[in-house]
Amino acid sequence: MRIIGLDPGLRHTGWGVVAVDGNRLRHVADGAIHTRSGGTLAERLVELFEGLGAVLAAYNPDAAAVEETFLNKNPGSTLKLGSARAVALLAPALKGISVAEYSTNLVKKAVVGAGHADKHQVEVMVRMLLPGTQALADAADALAVAICHAHHIQTNRIWDKAEAVS
C-alpha cells in the first residue's frame, strides 16, 4: 500500500509518499509544491491543485492523509491556509483516494512520541523511520503525516481482527 502525506500551505505544500508492507515502512518520494507569491489566491490554488494532480499521477497512492489546520493569530492567514488545505483534501478525493485528517499534535505524537515536538525533532525521527530520506521542512512534515496514517491503519486492522474474533 502507498500512502501520501500532505502538509498544506499556500506558499509551500509538502508531500511525501511511503510504501507500507505489514509493519515495515519504506520511503518512496517527497517534495514540495511552491506557488508564485505574486499570483492571486485563485491562481495559486490552481497551481497547487495542478501540482498535487501531477504528484498523485506520478506515485499513484492508495490512501492520503492531510494535516489539519492550526489556528494562528492572523485570521487572514488562517483563511488562506484553509483554502490550501481544501485543495489538499480535494485533489486526492477527486481521484477516488480515501483521505484521512490528523491534528499536528497527533502526527508529532505518532512520529516523535511527544505532541509538542519541534520541527527539528520531527525531521530527525522521519529520517530514522525512513532511512535514506533527506526530506527537509515541509516534505518531512508531510512524510510524518503519512507515517501517522500508516500507524493508524495498522492499529485499526488489529482492532478489526480482535472484534471479528469476539
- DSSP string spanning 97-165? -EEEEE-HHHHHHHHTS-TT--HHHHHHHHHHHSTT----HHHHHHHHHHHHHHHHHHHHHHHHHHHHH
Residue 73 has a pLDDT of 75
SS3 37: coil
118 catalytic per annotation: no
How much is the pTM?
0.91
Q: Is the dihedral of CA 30, 28, 55, 77 positive or negative?
A: negative
Residue 116 has a pLDDT of 82
7 catalytic per annotation: yes
The catalytically annotated residue of 7, 30, 123, 141 is: 7
Centre a 10 Å sphere on the Cβ of residue 156 and count the other Cβ atoms it contains: 10
Write the Ramachandran bin of 96: left for phi over 0, alpha for psi from -120 to 50, otherwise beta: left
141 catalytic per annotation: no
Averages of pLDDT over each 10 residues, the chain, 166 residues? 96 96 93 92 97 98 91 79 95 98 94 85 93 88 96 72 69
Residue 98 has a pLDDT of 97
The catalytically annotated residue of 30, 67, 123, 141 is: 67
The catalytically annotated residue of 30, 47, 123, 138 is: 138
Residue 40 has a pLDDT of 94
